[in-house]
């Protein structure tokens, strides 16, 4: 072998080099090949504003593990990558960027601002992709897509027009989440519920026609009373049956509003009376629809009170709240104020408290579209791993509301709707068919809708738009439906559900058969990583320090689907230590293979230890494959880790060293050992490759210079002919001897360098035969000067120390283990020291003053000490007696 591994493992020196080799050779690229079975994963597209964080690192490591595994299994594996235009996030970033230059978005105009957004995308859009490459992600970068590229934009337009023509998309006044700072509607996915300290204001409205009689209720948002159009009670509530149908007077507005009965009201909560503000509360909006109540919006887009707010017009919402509470108090209508901590919806981008608000927006009617997505879970056509997320998915789908898809932004897919400025007619059409003339009145003043589409609208089409849909491409026919979606549990509702119903609506199929859910990566204290806590860990910092392989191994070890995990730097160090172990073991094997012409040994030439390790790696291949197929990636890698570290490095390599060093005397045995080492290392590297691609590539290509890359070699497959249960049981006996001897040395403080004779006795001839046959497998590791296997104890010295092992007893002459004179001297000193400690303890425990005045725990502690000293004294006396 001409090539050598560097003396020390340095990931920084090899990772960039190897990644460039993979990319330059097109190893990640997949083309339609009907002779192979496809396996497809679509990468959840990271935002173009994005910076790699631990969530991305985990998500993409899991995808890369699966795609590398399937590639080695012979599948035509496509990992489809791309990025998301991230409408709100990017618009906010670009606005901030322009502000620093003293430029206002509105001054640029729409086209000028969009030019700036595209420049941003050119400059920053590829940043996270470059970072994902450092993780070792083997995505097909030749196919990289962007949610606003020509093909994806065509798909978005096609879907909008199709759903509009089918009656699923409509424009209407419904309640939405409104951000007063960004001044756009936002999706539920962008609303972050944060615990805030607030109040319950207990107030009352007077019943019209019954002076002095009131209904009392509590609210967390007093300012919304300006838009109240009813108060509601439960129809079964006897306390209020007589006032249903009557009206109450709304203070400040001098407006009578009805008392209605609706089962939405919880009789047990508070007073059993609820104020109804259909324009500013989702539940109230539904109640309002049932009772045909007026919808009165009292807020401007910037969350100041509008003209519907009467005397409070122009005030900020919180300023109006203070004044309203003060005035209600002065009017005698404030009953009391109660402290209350509640979850408040905030915009995840700017952290502003969002306002539920009724505004004219575009919506997708979801009831019918959701049905196939529900059925997919019930029939098993779609499965979640772990399965308990079925319930989360179904709960959301079965309670789904119509989806608000319009956003008051400039960056994004512009809604393909055109309005006649003369008669108000709406025309929805593809850009290529944009109307220049109104089909209703013939007017030529047509104007396109100013709004853009929700980012999720385009990412919902991602699994098929990236493969060429709506065109009937070869890629779409071959690679779709995709196989597995890997994602966090936090976007099941927002993205997974939308991809599934979109897949059925536009392709007639579920976009994937499995959704593999992972949890969050938390800090070492279990806290969510965040900028505010300052506890985020930069994956690139970890890679710079320890290498991508160490980070990947850390993220996947102990990882169970759906569960959160904690990040510890100590675990990264352990992963790096494992990489060093693999590297050093491989260097040792390569050094011993240097100049040797290996031949495949005959079965008879394989030693017991050879068959044992071959059998072990064979079973490992079967077990790991089963775990991988069940998406138990954490269990799979732990098995590979344990095998390499324990069985292969700590046992087999040490067992066969004597045979390797006897090349000149017994080349047949040495060849068998070296062939086995190379064979097992090869399989172990293949099994490790999906998890730690860089180090396995470097070692494998050094071990097999005739091979281009490990990633295109065959995944190890279980072979019945390599199952050696007898030899496995025999080596287990060898391990018993070594462990027994090592434990004895530890207990008696015998240095490993001191050799000792081992006498193994057993009444079972078969057992004796095994110990005789495998002597070489344990003699060196046990530090035995010689081994004698016999039936009885004849010839065993009286002072021999015994160790019981299964079906046998092991004896070691005491004189082989210790230097008698030195040991007697040491034990005598230990005896004198213990006599003093025992005398002190006994003295204290016979002292009445100590027993009466000392705390009980102190007395108990002293008794425990005395018991411990007595036990130690008994051991020392026994050892001294044995010496005599």
Question: Tens digits of per-residue pLDDT, 760-800?
Answer: 999 999 999 999 999 999 999 988 999 999 998 998 998 88
Mean pLDDT, residues 641-670 = 91
Confidence category of residue 883, pLDDT binned at 50, 70, 90: low
What is the dihedral angle through the alpha carbons of 788, 789, 794, 800, rounded to the nearest 10 degrees? 60
Question: Which range among 31-35, 432-436, 843-847 shows the weakest confidence by mean pLDDT?
Answer: 843-847
DSSP H helices, 380-496, are 389-398, 455-459, 462-465, 474-479
710 secondary structure, DSSP code: S
**Topology of the domain covering 821-883:** Helix Hairpins (1.10.287)
For residue 342, give both structure tokens: 């509640």
CA distance to 619, 672, 725, 737, per residue, from 606 (Å): 18, 6, 15, 22
Which strand (E) or helix (H) includes residue 501?
helix 497-507
Cα(825)–Cα(612) distance, integer angstroms = 45
Q: Annotation-wise, does 3 bind a ligand?
A: no
CA 431 distance to own-chain centroid: 40
Confidence category of residue 532, pLDDT binned at 50, 70, 90: low
Cα(54)–Cα(229) distance, integer angstroms = 48
> What is the location of CATH 1.10.287 in the chain?
821-883
> Which of the pair, 500 or 181, is modelled with greater confidence?
500
Beta carbons within 8 Å of 328's beta carbon, 6+ residues apart: 201, 203, 222, 251, 334
Mean pLDDT, residues 196-225 = 94
> Does pLDDT of 2 surpass 70?
no
Percent of the chain with pLDDT over 90: 74
CB 178 within 8 A of CB 356: yes
Cα(526)–Cα(388) distance, integer angstroms = 22
CB 447 within 8 A of CB 419: yes
Cα(535)–Cα(494) distance, integer angstroms = 27
Write out the CATH class of domain 192-356.
alpha beta
CB 871 within 8 A of CB 822: no
Q: 408 — phi, psi (to 5°)?
A: -90, 60
What pTM did the predictor assign? 0.86
CB 877 within 8 A of CB 838: no
Mean pLDDT, residues 184-208 = 88
> Does pLDDT of 410 surpass 60?
yes
> Does pLDDT of 668 surpass 70?
yes
CB 221 within 8 A of CB 321: yes
Give 569-723's CATH code, choosing from 2.40.50.1070, 1.10.390.10, 3.40.250.10, 1.10.730.10.
Answer: 1.10.730.10
List b or e across 767-805, with b for residues whose CB sees 16 or more CB atoms inside 10 angstroms.
bbebbeebbbbbbebbbbeebbbbeeeeebeeebbebeb
- Residue 1 has what pLDDT? 44
Its sign, for the CA torsion 268, 269, 274, 277, is negative
- Residue 403 has what pLDDT? 92
Mean pLDDT, residues 87-115 = 92
Closest CA to 571 of 622, 634, 617, 528: 634
Beta carbons within 8 Å of 235's beta carbon, 6+ residues apart: 244, 261, 262, 263
**What would the pLDDT profile of 685-743 be if each residue is shown by its tens digit?**
999 999 999 999 999 999 999 999 999 999 999 999 999 999 999 999 999 999 999 99
Q: Is 667 left (phi over 0), alpha (psi -120 to 50) or beta?
A: alpha
Beta carbons within 8 Å of 262's beta carbon, 6+ residues apart: 232, 233, 234, 235, 287, 290, 291
Mean pLDDT computed over every residue of the chain: 92
> What is the location of CATH 3.90.740.10 in the chain?
192-356
> What is the location of CATH 1.10.730.10 in the chain?
569-723
Cα(149)–Cα(578) distance, integer angstroms = 43
714 secondary structure, DSSP code: P
Cα(214)–Cα(246) distance, integer angstroms = 12
- Residue 380 has what pLDDT? 94
Its sign, for the CA torsion 126, 130, 132, 136, is positive
């Amino acid at each position: 072998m001409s090539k050598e591994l560097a003396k020390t493992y340095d990931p920084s020196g090899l990772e960039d080099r190897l990644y460039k080799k993979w990319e330059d050779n097109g190893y990640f690229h997949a083309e339609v090949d009907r002779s192979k079975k496809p396996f497809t994963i679509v990468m959840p597209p990271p935002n173009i504003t994005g910076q790699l964080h631990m969530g991305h690192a985990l998500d993409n490591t899991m995808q890369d593990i699966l795609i590398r595994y399937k590639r080695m299994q012979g599948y035509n594996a496509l990992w489809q990558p791309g990025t998301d235009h991230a409408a709100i996030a990017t618009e906010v970033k670009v606005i901030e960027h322009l502000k620093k230059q003293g430029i206002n978005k509105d001054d640029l105009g729409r086209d000028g601002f969009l030019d700036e957004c595209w420049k941003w995308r050119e400059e920053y859009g590829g940043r996270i992709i470059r970072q994902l490459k450092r993780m070792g992600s083997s995505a097909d970068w030749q196919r990289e897509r962007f949610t606003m590229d020509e093909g994806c934009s065509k798909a978005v337009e096609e879907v909008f027009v199709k759903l509009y023509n089918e009656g699923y998309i409509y424009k209407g006044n419904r309640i939405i989440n409104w951000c007063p700072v960004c001044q756009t509607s936002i999706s539920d996915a962008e609303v972050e519920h944060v615990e805030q300290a607030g109040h319950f204001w207990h107030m009352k409205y007077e019943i019209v026609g019954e002076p002095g009689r009131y209904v009392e209720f509590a609210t967390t948002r007093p300012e919304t009373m300006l838009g109240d159009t009813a108060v509601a009670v439960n129809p079964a509530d006897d306390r209020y049956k007589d006032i249903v149908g009557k009206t109450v007077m709304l203070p400040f507005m001098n407006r009578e509003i009805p008392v209605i009965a609706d089962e939405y009201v919880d009789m047990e909560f508070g007073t059993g009376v609820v104020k109804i503000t259909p324009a500013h509360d989702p539940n109230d909006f539904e109640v309002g629809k049932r009772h045909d109540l007026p919808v009165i919006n009292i807020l401007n887009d910037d969350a100041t009170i509008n003209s519907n707010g009467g005397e409070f017009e122009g005030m900020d919402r919180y300023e109006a709240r203070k004044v309203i509470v003060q005035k209600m108090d002065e009017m005698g209508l404030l009953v009391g104020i109660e402290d209350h901590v509640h979850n408040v919806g905030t915009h995840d981008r700017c952290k502003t408290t969002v306002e539920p608000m009724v505004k004219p927006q575009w919506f997708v009617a979801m009831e019918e579209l959701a049905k196939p997505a529900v059925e997919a879970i019930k029939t098993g056509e779609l499965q979640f791993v772990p399965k308990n997320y079925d319930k989360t998915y179904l709960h959301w789908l079965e309670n789904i509301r119509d989806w608000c898809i319009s956003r008051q932004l400039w960056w994004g897919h512009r809604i393909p709707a055109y309005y006649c400025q003369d008669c108000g007619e709406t025309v929805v059409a593809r850009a290529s068919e944009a109307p220049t003339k109104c089909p209703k009145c013939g007017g030529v003043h047509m104007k396109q809708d100013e709004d853009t589409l929700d980012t999720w609208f385009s990412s919902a089409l991602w699994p098929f738009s990236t493969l060429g849909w709506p065109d009937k491409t070869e890629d779409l026919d071959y690679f779709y439906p995709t196989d597995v979606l890997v994602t966090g549990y936090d976007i099941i509702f927002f993205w997974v559900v939308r991809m599934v119903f979109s897949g059925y609506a536009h392709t007639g199929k579920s976009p994937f058969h499995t959704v593999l859910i992972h949890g969050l990566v938390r800090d070492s204290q279990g806290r969510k990583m965040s900028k505010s806590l300052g506890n985020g860990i930069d994956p690139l910092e970890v890679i710079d320090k320890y290498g991508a392989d160490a980070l990947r191994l850390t993220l996947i070890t102990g990882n169970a689907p759906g569960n959160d995990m904690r990040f510890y730097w100590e675990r990264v160090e352990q992963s790096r230590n494992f990489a060093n172990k693999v590297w050093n073991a491989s260097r040792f094997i390569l050094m011993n293979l240097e100049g040797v012409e290996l031949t495949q040994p005959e079965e008879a030439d394989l030693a017991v230890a050879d068959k044992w390790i071959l059998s072990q790696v064979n079973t490992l291949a079967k077990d790991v494959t089963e775990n991988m197929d069940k998406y138990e990636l954490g269990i799979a890698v732990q098995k590979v880790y344990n095998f390499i570290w324990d069985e292969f490095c700590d046992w087999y390599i040490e067992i066969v060293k004597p045979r390797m060093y006897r090349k000149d005397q017994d080349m047949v045995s040495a060849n068998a050992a070296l062939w086995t080492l190379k064979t097992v290392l090869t399989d172990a590297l293949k099994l490790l490759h999906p998890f730690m691609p860089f180090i396995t590539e470097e070692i494998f290509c050094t071990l097999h210079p005739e091979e281009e890359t490990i990633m295109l070699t065959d995944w190890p497959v279980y072979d019945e002919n390599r199952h050696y249960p007898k030899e496995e049981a025999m080596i287990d006996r060898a391990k018993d001897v070594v462990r027994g001897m090592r434990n004895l040395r530890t207990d008696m403080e015998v240095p490993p360098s001191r050799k000792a004779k081992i006498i193994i006795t057993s009444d079972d001839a078969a057992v004796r035969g095994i110990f005789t046959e495998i002597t070489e497998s344990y003699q060196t590791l046990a530090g035995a000067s010689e081994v004698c296997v016999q039936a009885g104890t004849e010839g065993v010295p009286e002072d021999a120390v015994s160790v019981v092992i299964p079906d046998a007893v092991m004896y070691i002459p005491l004189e082989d283990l210790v230097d008698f004179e030195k040991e007697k001297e040491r034990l005598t000193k230990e005896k004198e020291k213990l006599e003093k400690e025992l005398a002190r303890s006994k003295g204290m425990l016979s002292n009445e003053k100590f027993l009466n005045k000392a705390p009980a725990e102190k007395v108990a502690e002293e008794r425990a000490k005395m018991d411990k000293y007595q036990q130690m004294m008994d051991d020392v006396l026994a050892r001294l007696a044995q010496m005599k």
